[in-house]
Chain A
């Protein structure tokens, strides 16, 4: 941990970066994001097993970008988010300095996309086994059972859009939900409004989701909505050979095609 503080202090002092997005102790047993700009502030930086939040969501926040050259403590999810954002032209090469926490408490500095890509090739980026278990369990249900499951979960949804706000890939200035000419997605948090919103969001994230789980972590009503986007990761990989957040020059799976894409339902 003090390696981290030393490293960040050095990066700030020699002006390699102006602000470092990291973790500090929060309320109760929580961890929160912190925006370190001075060596004194760096003293608050921590890193341990509970620091799992994907901080990449802050990279595009206007008031954070205005603070200057960005550094970030990036776990695998955050590295993948950076790659995905790069492939969507939201971050330029060299614009963000990522510090990756190694298992031995040292930190690897990634200053360009190429090095991140090379690292991601060597690491497991799949979804966690508990989540896969839940997906498998849902897939084993009948269609009507799944309908009942999701509608019961979505009953809790209050349309606070914490999932959207927390997702690094949801950065559209005018979200489809906010468009009212026409109003595609009912704003109200009734069954229809909730279902439409979550289905729309899952579709707009298909091929872009890096399974960081921030959406589900952010949800105040504890809805496992990450499962909707996670479930699409496998078919997109198996059918199109595409995985989000691995290469800075990847093309979005749904804006490209192969003339011989396989399907079994079009007559």
Chain B
């Protein structure tokens, strides 16, 4: 019986976390391969709808990571992102979506080890949670793939 390998999508900022993840690689640090990384100029650019789309398209977990506060390449992008995440987490939790499936972090360009830790810990956590069953029922790929059911 194959062990559940979660699909994790990571939305990261170009200047800090992406560079940090690069450092993880050049330092030859091994870490879980479950993560697909998507690079943004800044966490401030990450719209909450993108996170929803990740779940809808089959992600079991999400990582959102950027520069530490006061270190944003664009000065204030991560401050705006932080506010957005505080509100969005509240909403998701109230709507019945497991917010612990989304891991937020600040990982700088020098924190190669930290990135590996964030990924490994997130993968471990999501493995314990199991697949994102709630979303599987309504995910894009499963829509209308049973017998039409259109006469009601």
Binding site for B on A (CB under 8 A): 138-139, 143-151, 176, 184-185, 190-192, 195-196, 198-200, 202-203, 206-207, 228, 231-232, 235-236, 239-240, 253-259, 261, 263, 265-267
Contacts and interface: CB of A to CB of B under 8 A. Distances in A.
Q: What is the interface of chain B mostly: helix, strand, loop, or mixed?
A: helix
B106 A266 contact: yes
Interface residues of B, number: 39
Interface string B113-144: 00000100000000000000010011110010
B49 A147 contact: no
A202 B80 CA distance: 18
Contact of B70 (A147, A195, A259): A259
Nearest to A198: B95
Nearest to B107: A267
A205 to B, nearest CB: 10
B39 interface: no
Given A143-B96, A146-B95, A253 B83 contact: yes
A192 B52 CA distance: 10
A253 to B, nearest CB: 7
Q: What is the interface of chain A mostly: helix, strand, loop, or mixed?
A: helix
A232 B91 contact: yes
A143 B98 contact: yes
- Across the A-B interface, give the 4 residue pairs with the lowest CB-CB distance, nearest first: A147-B96, A146-B96, A257-B79, A191-B138
A263 B82 contact: yes
Contacts of B90: 231-232, 235
B89 to A, nearest CB: 7
B97 interface: yes
Given A203-B48, A203-B88, A254 B138 contact: no
Contact of B94 (A139, A151, A184, A239): A139
B86 A263 contact: yes
Contacts of A202: 91
B104 interface: yes
Given A138-B94, A143-B98, A261 B139 contact: no
10 contacts: A144-B134, A145-B96, A184-B49, A190-B143, A192-B143, A196-B52, A203-B91, A231-B91, A263-B82, A266-B104
Contacts of A195: 95, 138
